[in-house]
Chain A
Amino acid sequence: MSTDRHDHNGVNRRKVLECMTWAGTGILWTVAGGVPRSLGLVDEAMAQGAGPLTFLQISDSHMGFDKPANPNVNGTLEEAIGKIKAMPAQPSFIIHTGDITHLSKPAEFDDAEKIISQAKLDVHYVPGEHDIIDDEVKLYRERYGRGTRGLGWYSFDAGGVHFIGLVNVANLKAGGLGTLGPEQLAWLEDDLKGKSASTPMVVFAHIPLWAVYPQWGWGTDDSGRALELMKGFGSVTVLNGHIHQVMQKVEGNVSFHTARSTAFPQPAPGSAPSPGPMKVADEKLRGLLGVASVTFKQGEQRLAIIDQPLQG
């Protein structure tokens, strides 16, 4: 795919449809002009060359899951990593937005490491609720918690962008949603101090930081406080997983986006009795795992992300 559609306002519909046909299993993000945009994996990576910062988001690998919705989660994660390796221009790093494992077992973490490391890229993790259910709640921190606070929150800078990894899956309250908690919020306030308002922010956490569907627990109780702290920044992009499907919303300076899982799909909000793993016909499964394509609204530093399943 050529780069020409980035030079014009709007999007060439045919190009978008073409873009939807690539076989991707992650979301590739690029930051250009301070605004992160998600891209189709292969074509766009080629188009972008070595220019702007690019990174990839994968989520919800659920190593160890073996139910009918996908009895081979190792295989689909391998396929996802294979796609990344096949990209002509490699992203700078990967963000994994949690639920690396299904049951926080050492062998599950080992499998994830074995497969994801094949990408030969730095990976920045945040935990999902499935990653902290070992008896002593230590395996995630032992493996991924170095240099982080609490159960694993941290920030780093890359390519002029400030990245913030948050943990909203611990110390959950009965009847509530995801929680950041006062300690993490105080850290966030401190972390943002002195940052220029023009610094693009990318915030990533497992459970959506917006109320996708509270009836199913798809939201974070105190995310409003975190977003309040980021009100002064011109560009904030929030990346989440947990719901195993693409959802997005733009609100003022904040773009919210959830990634697909590499393991199994979950139903659209309210479309099933529960948010459990969704069984689909075998030939449809890969169309629902980690596939994203995006269209851009040019100008005004504003973006509109559109994601579609590859099939259907």
Chain B
Amino acid sequence: MTTRKVPAAASAAANLSAVLVAALIFLASPVWAADATVKIDNFTFDPPRLTVKAGATVTWYNEDDIPHTVAATGKQFRSKALDTDGKFSFTFTTPGSYEYFCSLHPHMTGVIVVEAATGSTQ
């Protein structure tokens, strides 16, 4: 699950429509920009290799019509079985390379590369 900090942006945009509020938060929030998603579909992780900054939360979405799991080879994280539309999030705090796979279909593999946070979270 991502944690989104919105109060400042929300108050500045108090008079705008809800749609504009959402758009403004999306564009303005540096915390959110660091987060990333991985799509699971057709028995693959997309992208199979993803680079994020330390502190980023990665969310996997299962868009396949078969359940999958997200399991770190080094056991740092492991989801339950994600049915269609299921999702799983993990926040990466330590730089490094995290290989993972689907424990049901182990030929499905991916890797999250976590780089040290540099202050800029572009």
* Interface set of A (CB-CB < 8 Å, partner B): 67-69, 102-104, 129-130, 133, 135, 172-177, 214-217, 273-277
Contacts and interface: CB of A to CB of B under 8 A. Distances in A.
Nearest to A221: B106
B44 interface: yes
A122 B99 CA distance: 43
B64 A217 contact: no
Contacts, number: 60
A133 B109 contact: no
Given A67-B65, A174-B101, A277-B66, A214 B107 contact: yes
What bracket does the count of chain B residues touching chain A fall in? 20 to 34
Tell me the interface secondary structure of chain B in the complex: loop
Contacts of B73: 174
Contacts of B43: 216, 274-276
Interface in B66-112: 66-67, 69, 71, 73, 80-81, 83-84, 99-101, 103-109
B16 to A, nearest CB: 40
Interface of B: 41-44, 64-67, 69, 71, 73, 80-81, 83-84, 99-101, 103-109
5 contacts: A103-B67, A172-B103, A217-B105, A274-B41, A276-B66
Contacts of A274: 41-44, 64
B99 A174 contact: yes
Contacts of A175: 101, 106-107, 109
Contact of A217 (B41, B81, B84, B106): B106
